[in-house]
Amino acid sequence: MTAPRLFGISGALRRASTNTLLVHEAARLFGPCELQMADIHLPLFDVDLEEKGLPDAVRALIDGARAADAVIISTPEYNKNLPGALKNALDWISREKVDGKTALAGKPIAILSSAAGRAGGERAQFSLRHCLTPFNPRVLQGPEVFVANASKAFDADGHLGNQMTLDMLTTLMAVLRAEIDMTRAA
């Protein structure tokens, strides 16, 4: 059987984002897999633009999500919410349906967050869960993984230093793997 295909979405645009590190750390703890990272440097959603045809970057985003066995989304928290770039990516994904379903319909999704504050992006995760509702994915309910004080949470190799957070992320990735295995067996 082929290795599971994971599609990683970091809600941060910054090159050195701790959310991008967190997606890679999740994939490492998941075990053997093929990870494709999304690029959410997208134009703002605009029906006029859409009517001219989906931009290439949007096509790549949708195709990557559709081809994946599961999705890992890590979001920062901006002003007590998910960032606009991540919401914009979700808006674009919502526009294409195949047999009435978006690329995220029925897809197992693990949500993570990394933020500078003491809550580690807890409110951003709540808003992301809400934004995913119309897609009808299989959002994993836990364990919830929040990385607080993110600038100090990763070592030089990009690995988490807090054992409790590592344990929770390892457990969440085991749940994600079980979801994929269940889907493949059906």
- How far apart are alpha carbons 31 and 6 in whole angstroms? 11
Phi-psi region of 16 (alpha: psi -120 to 50; beta: other; left: phi over 0): alpha
Percent of the chain with pLDDT over 70: 100
For strands 138-139 and 70-75, give the pairing: unpaired
E strand or H helix that includes residue 124: helix 122-132
pLDDT digits (tens, 9 = 90+) for 29-85: 999 999 999 999 999 999 999 999 999 999 999 999 999 999 999 999 999 999 999
Q: What is the CATH number of domain 5-185?
A: 3.40.50.360
Residue 1 is predicted with a pLDDT of 72
- The pTM score is 0.96
pLDDT, one tens digit per residue, over 169-186 is 999 999 999 999 998 888
pLDDT at residue 26, as a whole number: 98
Which residues partner with 75 through β-bridges? 113
